Amino acid sequence: AQSVTQLDSHVSVSEGTPVLLRCNYSSSYSPSLFWYVQHPNKGLQLLLKYTSAATLVKGINGFEAEFKKSETSFHLTKPSAHMSDAAEYFCVVSAMDTGRRALTFGSGTRLQVQP
Amino acid sequence: DAGVIQSPRHEVTEMGQEVTLRCKPISGHNSLFWYRQTMMRGLELLIYFNNNVPIDDSGMPEDRFSAKMPNASFSTLKIQPSEPRDSAVYFCASSYQVETYEQYFGPGTRLTVT
């Protein structure tokens, strides 16, 4: 079985300050990990993915995430928040589970960016 | 490319009525996914298809829900009869290969069952 835990349901930062969205996972198999972003009334958009290559993954809009197997974490960071980053962010784990690939979504973290 | 297209964008219906949601995946993608998003349960995978064949429907809540993919460019999710607890946003997503999971999501259909 696999699971993903997003440690914060809401994060609020000021524009220009760093962003940290935390994600921990558990998986019996070598997982692939993803971050998706959802702006209000929109579908989800892929930010970045980890699939057993480099542990530091760079995504779109200046976001990056580091896969840390020892900590079972895949935290999302950005050096400087922009107002347009305000959205909901989902951490997703994908692994072979009972012979079939299974996708598990975290519960989401809502990012607020204050001017 | 127009991206994943879903229709209708909003649907309001009365309990007991049949509801059909439609999805057109991105041309060339051979995997299609249906999700449901609610405040209570978050984002749930309902079913996915690979090359028009249903692979995993373990997320389909009950027999009132059914999904079809008659060809590579069209899929439907049907609820019959609908119930108020089915109210949610339903997303369709497609990907080139199911293994990559670089899924492209449609804008969603907001369903309200009164």
Phi, psi of B56 (to 5 degrees): -145, 110
CB contact at 8 A, A77 and A90: no
Enumerate the β-bridge partners of residue B27: none
Q: Residue B110: exposed, middle, or buried by beta-carbon count in 10 A (0-12, 13-18, 19+)?
A: middle
List, in sequence order, every beta strand (DSSP E) within chain A. Answer: 3-6, 10-14, 19-21, 23-26, 32-38, 44-50, 56-58, 64-68, 73-78, 87-97, 100-105, 109-114
- Surface of A (73-92) touching B: CB under 8 A: 90, 92
Q: Provide the pLDDT for residue B109.
A: 96
Nearest chain A residue to B41 by CA: give it: A107
pLDDT digits (tens, 9 = 90+) for A75-93: 999 999 999 999 999 999 8
Calpha distance A70→A90 (Å, rounded): 21
The whole-number pLDDT of residue A54 equals 83
Q: Give the percent of chain B with pLDDT over 70.
A: 95
**Per-residue pLDDT at A87:** 97
Q: Mean pLDDT over all residues of chain B? A: 92
A–B: how many Cβ contacts below 8 A? 45
pLDDT for A102? 63
How far away is chain B from the Cα of A38, in angstroms, using its nearest Cα? 10
What pLDDT sits at residue B103?
Answer: 85
Pairing relationship of beta strands A73-78 and A64-68 according to DSSP bridges: antiparallel
Rg of the Cα atoms in chain A: 14
Q: Does A43 touch chain B (CB under 8 A)?
A: yes
Q: What is the arithmetic mean of pLDDT over A22-39?
A: 89
CA A38 to chain centre: 11
Closest partner residue to B101 (CB to CB) among A42, A100, A103 is A103
Q: Region B67-95: what's the mean pLDDT? A: 96
The number of angstroms, rounded, from the C-alpha of A21 to the middle of its chain's C-alpha atoms is 7
- B5: tokens are 């297209």
- Reading the block at residue A49, the tokens are 């993915």
pLDDT in tens, B21-72: 999 999 999 889 999 999 888 888 899 998 999 988 888 988 999 999 999 9
* The pLDDT of residue A3: 87
pLDDT value of residue B100? 59
Nearest to A9, CA basis, from A99, A114, A113, A110: A110
pLDDT band at B102 (very low <50, low <70, confident <90, very high): confident
Residue A59 and residue A41: Cα distance in Å, rounded?
A: 22
Mean pLDDT on A53-57: 87
